[in-house]
Structure 1
């Protein structure tokens, strides 16, 4: 019997997008588990709504992203890696975070390894040589670079996010997959992927773009006076609120 998972990444505090993706996943009765590749919060301002949607479900597993870690560092009185406006934004997110969610956030690991229908998977937010430091983003990766980076890695499927675009690299023994960002796009769509592992270890992938209405979410940046809102609206959402 085949086993089907959904892979989501980079929700970034966008509950408006997350609701539509979860609705579509729920309508597919064949999805048996969801893996979330980090950056649950930060950038978007719907922090508590996102965490409530995610943590209320038993069928979702998580890995930690850099924004998640920076916000936890602030909560713990430590210096985050973020700087300037981004750090101010993270302080704002931390100050509005429901403290009931903090223990759950702290328990999220940097990596997950799972056997899915006999196939070994590795889930992580982005490539790293050593926890908890993520490597700089490679904006134009190749299969050769990924093979070298994961030389010796036993997992047949490596799922990562962080870079907000879709990646699908495959050779004769490994698959490298980035489902794209669920919560950040210059279009009113939310991305995710599904992976189906068959009885004979055959792997099928599908990518989805789910339409949603971002109007209220985007307009609330100004209403709430979210720090770094001009940078965020331009760079993460393509100033859709002005179109």
Structure 2
């Protein structure tokens, strides 16, 4: 969406979403774009000697993206992160839950907050102690009726496709 706001070409793999991104860009205050653009792409944090890696999107757009984006295996993720010392990798972007643990690290993604086939919001708890890292996913139900109806009310581009793919409607 930020690229559409600035009139730039869409990012690799986002050409089909351009109309939707432009629709959003035409309606957002420029201060939000500046805020989003200034956010760090990744955060590395240490707790009790464990190193955490947080990123919205953890994969680059190389062959790794094509092979492990949708349903990564532990082996693929360990291979991708083989040169790092991260103990916990928390990432987003993917709309499905990933909670994988290898002998090297924990991979944790709670899925999408608003793009879900069920009206639930998820958050994660990370417990760190000398004995290790424990992560837990918590779910809370909510009423998303008004949100889903707003797609039609606001005439969101490609709303039928978006509702079907991201919300199961």
Instruction: Compute the TM-score of the two structures, normalised by the length of structure 2.
Output: 0.89
SS at 1:135's partner residue? helix
Shift of 1:157: 0.7
Q: Distance in 2 between matches of 1:189 and 1:217?
A: 13
Deviation digits for residues 85-115 of structure 1, max 9, x if unmatched? x211100100110122222111112211111
1:195 counterpart residue number: 126
Q: Do residues 83 (structure 1) and 28 (structure 2) align?
A: no
Aligned pair partner of 2:160 in 226, 230, 240: 230
Shift of 1:129: 4.1
2:134 counterpart residue number: 204
Deviation digits for residues 127-153 of structure 1, max 9, x if unmatched? 32479x982353332111111111111
Q: Do residues 94 (structure 1) and 25 (structure 2) align?
A: yes
SS at 1:139's partner residue? coil
Q: Do residues 119 (structure 1) and 50 (structure 2) align?
A: yes
SS at 1:162's partner residue? coil
Q: Distance in 1 between matches of 2:160 and 2:154?
A: 13
Range with greater deviation from structure 2 (135-144 or 174-183): 135-144
Alpha carbons of structure 1 residues 123 and 217: separation in structure 2 relative to 1, 3 Å:
same
SS at 1:177's partner residue? strand
Contact 2:121 2:139 in 1 (8 A): yes
Within a 5 Å distance, the mapping from 1:23-172 to structure 2 comes to 71-81=1-11, 82-84=14-16, 86-129=17-60, 135-136=65-66, 138-172=69-103
Contact 2:51 2:88 in 1 (8 A): yes
Residues paired across the two proteins, number: 166
RMSD of aligned Cα (Å): 2.1
Q: Distance in 2 between matches of 1:92 and 1:188?
A: 24
Q: Distance in 1 between matches of 2:150 and 2:34?
A: 28
Range with greater deviation from structure 2 (208-217 or 189-198): 189-198
Structure 2: runs of 5 or more not aligned: none
Shift of 1:118: 2.8
Deviation digits for residues 146-173 of structure 1, max 9, x if unmatched? 1111111111111112221111111223
Deviation digits for residues 170-189 of structure 1, max 9, x if unmatched? 12231111112111111111
1:31 counterpart residue number: none
Shift of 1:117: 3.3
Alpha carbons of structure 1 residues 74 and 118: separation in structure 2 relative to 1, 3 Å:
same
Structure 1: runs of 5 or more not aligned: 1-70
